[in-house]
Structure 1
Amino acid sequence: MKTILITGGAGFIGSNLSEYFLNKSYKVTVLDNFATGHRHNIEPLLENPNFKLIEGDIRNLEDCRKAVEVADYVLHQAALGSVPRSINDPITSNDVNVSGFLNMLVAARDAGVKRFIYAASSSTYGDSEALPKVEDKIGKPLSPYAITKYVNELYADIFSKTYGLETIGLRYFNVFGRKQDPKGAYAAVIPKFVIQLMNHESPVINGTGDYSRDFTYIDNVIQMNELAMTTDNKSGVNTVYNTAVGDRTNLNELVGYLKEFLTEYDPEIAKVEIIHGPNRAGDIPHSLASIDKAKTNLGYQPTHKIKDGLKEAVSWYWENLK
């Protein structure tokens, strides 16, 4: 029975990974300081004898060493997300996302971890206007958050070349799904819009609504983490992969889909008006991933397109948060 350390395991993506791998008969250790994660995300897992929670901070090297000491694999999800948050507080974002990441690499190296898989970001593409986004062609970062995520990739590459630690970075593209927090100043757009529509409040779209994203359902992300962790293709490690669907949806279309699915539960939602506000600093107009590399090297086949994922996400939010 292999042991996986999931940092940030009480967060949205981390808790979904924790639940999935416990059900696949792995032992799972979670390291989380609950800065952005929630205990209720992992509460059902606490009774499982193969689950272990360590409350600690990746900015503390000793916490990292304690968490990784018996791990075969690391799925590093812990980070301070959000472009606006990094613009408002670049120092804390750097401390967590860069110094914390380096701590985890050092701890994993010293513990002899088999493979280190980490959450990279599509923000690394920066001001590159090329579509679709291909892994080896990036631009200049547009936010402190993007800088931190690019630095993660550079550190991972150095640790692979210098110390022989196997690493794989997964550049997440606008992940959404069950357990994603709809509250707070830095809530992601999909859960935020869902809750507003459920409450008959008008969502505010930044700009005209023509900006588009490669929205990626959580089950696709879980699949990529599992493939990255288990692949025997040695030419497929020590690199980065887009973790996406390979399709894009603009914000106007997104709200249209959400209203369509939510009106199945409450017809009045169809009447909620949409408000348009100013564009947000640090945002790129369009994002679309090429997933050819992941398909070729890892055998990735996304199971959920945008509408499939939104329908499941809306159902989860309605059942759990209404």
Structure 2
Amino acid sequence: MEAVHSWWTVRGEGEATSSEHRIDVRFSPLVIHTNRNWKTAHSASTTRTNATFHVAVDGTEASSEVGLPPFKPGIYEGTAEDCRDLSIRFAYHLTFLLGTRVLASGTTSACRETLNLAQGGDGGGDGGLAIEPASERERILVTALRALDGCAASGRHPNAALALVETAILRCLSRAMGIPVPSLLDVCGGHQGPVRCFYTVGMAADRNLLAEDVRYGSGNTQFLKFKLDKDAEKALEVFSALEAEGLLVAGRRTVAIDANCSWDPEFAMDFLARLQKYLPHVYMIEQPFPFEMPFSEAARWALAGRGSRTSARSAASWCTRTRA
């Protein structure tokens, strides 16, 4: 897959024609090769293609990367090709919004179809920012956000691709303004503590292979994630083994469970009850319910406390915190 590079030289808005600004954007595929296969429910490969996006305006630059797991309906729907397609369409939209200010431009891959740029508008306004842009460089980046909004309005681009481009633009704008991204968007805080990186233990039926994978993972991080699906007995066995190996530390949540969207609310209630002893060590339960299940259904079960010895309050908390 080829990279896509687009650039523009533009005249400052309302400025003399001698004032010029340079814009560069670049999409690149990022092929990752691992020394162990993924061992997940939908992939056993050692290769994955992520995507990167780079934005630069007058020397201020920023990049982003999006992880792109193999396709999984309703969960992982973006591909590197989707990101490449968006980068081409984004350049088309941005050219349209810059209009007659463009003095020169170029691209390695032009959009090969006519787009209805009027449909859905261009996003308008200030891009939803909490702080007004002050310089021409900042206003250009806000125009880039509006161009991305125009792409999003078409409904054809997956969220992974949109997030890739948006993150790079926001980071670049943050650096241009000297303001953190959360302040730029008027959202609270951002992550202040250390980032927890989980090693995913593969879905091995053979207990010896499972133990070997645990040893490998725990040699690199304290945080382990297990693909357990609906196997409650396996979950108990895993936690018992972790306890015997001294890998469960009092007061620390170092284990994540991935249910691969295989649970229903009744099973979730029973599962939490059976694992009550080990819940103080569980950091999260990932994707417990099918993607298409309404959240209200899970919440209703949790509040009713059906089919489980776990209290309704405890179950409601867990089902709510682990819905995603």
TM range (shorter): under 0.3
Name the structure where helix makes up a greater proportion of residues.
1
* TM-score, length basis structure 1: 0.27
Give the greater-gyration-radius structure (CA).
2
* TM-score, length basis structure 2: 0.27
> 1 or 2 for the larger relative contact order (CA 8 Å, sep ≥6)?
1
